Every structure is written in structure tokens, then in C-alpha cells.
A and B are shown apart, each in its own frame.
Chain A
Amino acid sequence: MNAVLFLFFQRMRLPLITLITAYAVATVGFTLIPGVDDQGEPWRMSVFEAFYVVSYTGSTIGFGEVPYEFSQAQRLWTIASIYLTVFAWLFGIGSIIALLQDPTCRQVIERARLQRGVRRINEPFYIVCGYGDAGALLTGTLSSRHQRVVVIDSDRQRIDRLTVEDLGASVPAFCMDAREPAHLIEAGLRSRWCAGVLAVTGSDQTNLKIAITSKLLNHKAAVYARADRRATADNMRSFGTDHVLEPGVEFCRRLRLALTAADAFRLHHWLSSGPHASLPGTQMPPRGRWILCGYNPLGQALHQTLESLGVDVTVIDSGTEKENNLLPPGSVLGRGTEAPTLEEAGIRSAAAILALTRDDADNLSILVTARELNPKLFLAARENTGANHLLYEAAELDFIGRPSLVVAGSILSQISSPLFQTFIDLIEAEENEVSARLLQRLGHTTDEGPPQVRTVRISHRRSPAVSRALDHGETVLLEALCRDPRHRQALLPVVPLLLQRGDESWLCPEPDTALESGDRILFAGPPSAGPQLDKLLFMDRALRYVRTGEDHPEGWLWRRYRDHQNSSRSRVQ
């Protein structure tokens, strides 16, 4: 605000001084020019009368010649003062308009408005750096979950796109370079409500800068950063970035799961691919020979994973990038978009093809050509820009890898529950059978969209009702938290995935597990189950009802009435 005011006054100095001077000169002039009063006597205006005349003349109101008819000399001066004051006004008003039109000034006003917006947030909020595909998905989902979000992007067009989007809550969107620490502070990095910084720009260097800035300036905020290169990821971890998201590593992980434990892959992919994810089909990639187009860092990582799983891989790469001298033996040089190259790589005997180039048109062309040559192929591609998603959908591929979706999905799962990563690690170590059973149970609970995960903590602050019951020496079973507080016979559509007590974690805890203070439970269920679960955690009455079936009124008056009834009943007996 101050900046705007200062800018205004600095620019308005000259017009204001001009205006004051013009009025002063005109006023003094009127007091000096001789006139004639109604009696014909010589008369001169007082300062007050002169100022009165100048005031209505200058503002172009014009009451005429008061208090007496002007002499010719006075009329001459009136002409002079009209031009003087009117032009002074025009100059002043023109300056104000020019100032408001000035890009610098508009930027300052806009920034001040946004900063006010950020300062006014009095609940935890996240700073999303980079409003690309991942940033847009994160912003939209967090807003729909009633989380406040602040967005920074250096691209004006993206910010404009965000401004016209209906997100439910107001999202302050700064158009500035997130690499500057001052800009991050402006976006609220130092605010005590800043819960986390999500660095999801397309550039590793920018994400790195954001991560280190956030870590240094606000050690309480969690930092989630995307890193496409191994070196960047290691660098980020070295200074304690809370969550480093490597799309490449994540793809390798999912590919390995898909090839070894199909249901674990389906569960993982379903739960951590954003709010619009659908459960992947049961058709899993075959274990025959694979063809991999594009030997870029992602290609290399996937190649390594496949080799380690004992899968035979043929690489096709144009060899234009500098990695070409590292191409594995037996590779085919070429783009892969033409039939001869694909034939050379043995497309007809291959089981699957991965199109991983950085060009969406190339990827689609590779896959369509490949399908023509061998209709039974398993087709998978990397989608580079979200704008081309429709094309990939239309191509009817078996698997579409979307780096931005993987990043956003992982961040969302981790934001909604810090236990999620532990759960995924455990699930991967388990037999496929466990995931299959979980999938079956979760499939029952959710009609649309993937289930949402949340952590419940047994503590006085997070679940007072459960905590109080435990303090009274009562036993609360895990099963109680899965019952509907409206009809205790019915079950809430939530599935406890994990129970953590101290350093120990149990996957799929039994319903008759007795809860203890300090337990942390990971639940999965539709968003609509959240409020019901909250009732059980916060309301003694609801919890007692699902545990015992007794529904006692809670209010003071009702309690008195009940006590009275009980005592009179015992007296009769």
C-alpha cells in the first residue's frame, strides 16, 4: 500500500505545485485589480472574495460576476485566470490518469493487492511455484479440498489462465520469478501459516533454487520439489528437502511393480495419480522383448530397470543427443517414426514398445506405426504436455506415463497423509495377494474417483473423543472408527490401510485392534466419509453410540434429567 502512495505523491508533486501556484497567482491578481461597486465607488476585492471567484472559475462552474459587476480590467484578469487554473487542473487530472495507466504503477497496485491477500490468509496455505500441468492440478485439487494456495509463475499467460479459472477460493497468483528469494517472501514464504512450498516448475535449476531458498528462509515449511535429473535430486536431498519427486524414478518403480506385482502397481497407481485417476485395467505389460524409443535420461533409467528384471530390450534412438555413444549394444539408430527402423528393431517379434521421446508428435507417430506393423503390441508412451492428452487418449494406448501427473499425484498423497509413503513401501515389500485384497475392499467403498487417504492420530488434539474414552480406561477398537455414527450396524466406506505405533507399522490392521494413545492410522475412503469419521473422533456421544449402542444426550439439562430419572428409579426399587 505504502509503495503505491509514495509513487502517487512522487508523480503528483509537480501537478499539485502547479495547481497551488496557479490559484495563488489568480487570487492575488483579483485583489490587486481595481473595480467599481454598485455605487460607482472604486472598490477592490478582499482575498476571500478573490479566492471565491477563482474557486468557481477554476472548477469551470462560473457563477458570473460577484459581488459587483466586473470592470474591464477585472474581466481581462478573469480570462487570464481561467486559462491558468483550467490548464492547471487538466495537467493534474491528466497526470493522475497517466499514472493509473502506467504499467509500473499498475504492477505495484496489483502486487500490493496480492500481498494484502496473502497477509489476510489465516490458515495453513501452500505456495505452488510453477503453474504448468502439475501446478494447475495441485492448485485445483488443494483448493477443492479447502486448502489455501498461493501461486507463483513467471509466465503472464499462465497467471491469466489461473485468474479466470473458478477454483472456489481466492488464489493469489503472482506473476514473478520464483528464483528470487524476495519474491518468495512476498508470496508469504515467511508467514507463520505457510505449510509448504511445492516447487513444480519445468526447470530443475529453478526447482533447486526454490527448494534451497525455502529451506533457508522457513525451516518449518515442508518443501516438495520436482527433479528430473538424478544430480539435482541428490543435491536437493543433501540440504534436507522434505520430499524430492523424480518422475523418472517413479516411473521405474511403477514399471517394476507392474511387471512383478500387478495388483500392487494398480493400487499404487490408483492412489497416487491425482483426483481423476481411474483404476488401471488388469491387462499388465508382457514380459517378452521390449522396444524402447528415445534413450534420454528417462529411457536410460527404464532400460536399466527392464534389464535388471531380465527383460530383453532393443533401443531405438536418433543418436543426435550426446548420449549416443553410450547406446547399448544392439541398438538401432533412427527416430522410430518410420516403419524401416521399427522393422530393423524387430517390431514383429516384440511384445511391447515404449515411446519416450520429448516430442509428443513423434511419440504418437511411433506408436501408431508400431501398431500397424504388430497389432498385438503393448503400447506405452510418455506424455510431455498436458495439452496433448486428448491425442494420447484417442490413440488408445495401454499405458500413458504423465510426468506432471505423477509429480502432482505423489505430492497430493503425501500432503494428505505423511504415512502414505510408509504404506507404499510396505505394500511393495509384501506379496501381491495383500494388494489384491485391499483393492477388492477399496473397490467396494468408492463409486467414483480414487479413494482419498488421510491420517488419524489418537491424541487429545486430533481425536479428543477417542482420547477421553481411553483416559477413562475404556477400550476403543479400531473397528469402532469404521462404523457409521448414524446407524452403528452400517459400516463407513473407509478402510484402515496402516497402523503405526511407535516405530512399528502394521499393514491392514485387524478390526479388533485396541487403539492406544499416540497411534497413527492411515485410512482410505471417499471424501464424503471424512465428516462422519470426524464425528467419531470429536464427539463423545457419537463414539459411545457406535461402541455401545447407547445414545445418551450430552447437554447439561438432559444429563440432570437423566440422573434424576435414574435416582428416582432406584428409589422405587
Chain B
Amino acid sequence: MNLGKVVFGFFVLLALTLNFGFFIGDIDNPDHHNVYELFAALVVGLIATVMKLGERSQIGAVLLASSLVVDLHLIAAAVIWVVAVHVTEVGLTPAVMASIVSLSGGALLANLLSVVLLTMETSSINR
């Protein structure tokens, strides 16, 4: 067992689960989507990105790309949240919430791809 692989897999998977936890629920209901969960998903996503940096393999490159997509989506979602609540002060209206959650949905897809790729790589090593 390789501790490095464990940590790496842990963060990739955690990014997906946190992302899913934020995404699940009514799309326009602010009560179903916790700000801390978005924050955690973003932080874990960033850490996963850094861990993928410097990977020379082909699959490493795709993993890094999907991770960057995740970060982009989640940062966009966070910016919308901040703008709605603190800058324009319209608050978390259903429309705002829906766009935040749909962005995190995009991130979820990319996270899913990361996990699938990681699983494929692992299984190909075992064979």
C-alpha cells in the first residue's frame, strides 16, 4: 500500500462527495445548500488540483484538466454567491440559487470523471 496513493485517492474522492453533498436537494431552495459545503468542496478541489500538478503520465494530464474544470466551476459559483449576497444584496433568490447549484452540478460531472479515470488507472495497474 502506498500512502501517497491513499492521500491522493482520498482527496479526489472527497472532492466528489462534498460536491455531491452540496449539489443534492431542490435546485432553487437555499435551505438545501450549505455555504460551508461549497467552501469545503472548493478547498478540497484546490488541494486535489495541486496534488495532480507535476504528474507526467497521460492520465495525470487529463486528471489535472478535469480538476481545473472543477475549480473553475466552483469559483464561479462562489463568486455568484458573494455578488448576490454582499455586492448587489438581492439575497439568495431562487434564480441565484439555481445558477449556483447548476454550476456546482457541472463541477460534479468533472469530479465524477476524475474518479472514473483514477479507478481506471488503478485497475490497469493491477492487471
Contact = CB atoms under 8 A, between A and B. Distances in A.
Interface in B82-114: 82, 85-86
Contact of B54 (A6, A27, A28, A46): A6
B43 A24 contact: yes
Given A28-B39, A47-B35, A47-B39, A20 B82 contact: no
A13 B51 contact: yes
A8 B50 CA distance: 12
Contacts of A21: 43, 47
A6 B61 CA distance: 12
A17 B35 contact: no
Nearest to A6: B54
Contacts of A49: 86
B24 interface: no
A286 B36 CA distance: 101
B43 A13 contact: no
Nearest to B35: A47
Interface string A64-93: 000000000000000000000000000000
A12 interface: yes
Contacts of B56: 6
Nearest to A2: B56
B46 A12 contact: no
Contacts of B86: 46, 48-49
Interface in B28-72: 35-36, 39-40, 43, 46-47, 50-51, 53-54, 56
A43 to B, nearest CB: 14
A308 interface: no
B11 to A, nearest CB: 9
- Interface footprint category on A: 20 to 34
B50 A48 contact: no
Given A6-B56, A46-B85, A48-B86, A16 B43 contact: no
B51 A48 contact: no
Contacts of B54: 6-10, 12-13
Contacts of A8: 54
Nearest to A3: B56
Interface residues of B, number: 16
Contacts of B50: 12-13, 16-17, 20
B23 to A, nearest CB: 18
Contacts of B39: 24, 27-28, 47
A509 B53 CA distance: 70
Interface in A1-42: 6-10, 12-13, 16-17, 20-21, 23-24, 27-28, 31
Contacts of A10: 53-54
A48 B92 CA distance: 14
A414 B40 CA distance: 71
A306 to B, nearest CB: 63
B85 A20 contact: no
B47 A12 contact: no
A46 B85 CA distance: 10
B53 A12 contact: yes
A403 to B, nearest CB: 47
Contacts of B43: 20-21, 23-24
A31 B54 CA distance: 34
Nearest to B64: A9
A27 B46 CA distance: 15
Contacts of B47: 17, 20-21
Nearest to A23: B43
Contacts of B82: 48
Nearest to B51: A13
Nearest to A50: B39
Contacts of A7: 54
A48 B46 CA distance: 17
Nearest to A25: B43
Nearest to B11: A17
B46 A20 contact: yes
A17 B51 contact: yes
A24 B54 CA distance: 23
Contacts of A48: 81-82, 85-86
Which of B35, B46, B85 gathers most chain A CB within 10 Å? B46
Nearest to B43: A24
A24 B43 CA distance: 7
Contacts of B53: 9-10, 12-13, 16
A424 B43 CA distance: 77
Contacts of A47: 35-36, 39
Contacts of B35: 46-47
A570 B82 CA distance: 92
A13 B53 CA distance: 7
A7 B86 CA distance: 41
Interface in A98-114: none
A20 B81 CA distance: 21
Contacts of A24: 39-40, 43
Nearest to B42: A24
Contacts of A28: 36, 39
B33 to A, nearest CB: 13
A442 to B, nearest CB: 61
Contacts of B46: 20
Contacts of A31: 36
Interface in A277-295: none
Contacts of A20: 43, 46-47, 50
7 contacts: A6-B56, A10-B53, A12-B50, A12-B53, A27-B39, A28-B36, A46-B35
The 10 closest A-B pairs by CB, nearest first: A9-B54, A9-B53, A10-B54, A24-B43, A16-B50, A48-B82, A20-B46, A6-B54, A17-B50, A47-B39
Interface of A: 6-10, 12-13, 16-17, 20-21, 23-24, 27-28, 31, 46-49
Given A20-B47, A47-B39, 8 more contacts: A6-B56, A9-B54, A12-B54, A16-B50, A28-B36, A46-B86, A48-B81, A48-B85
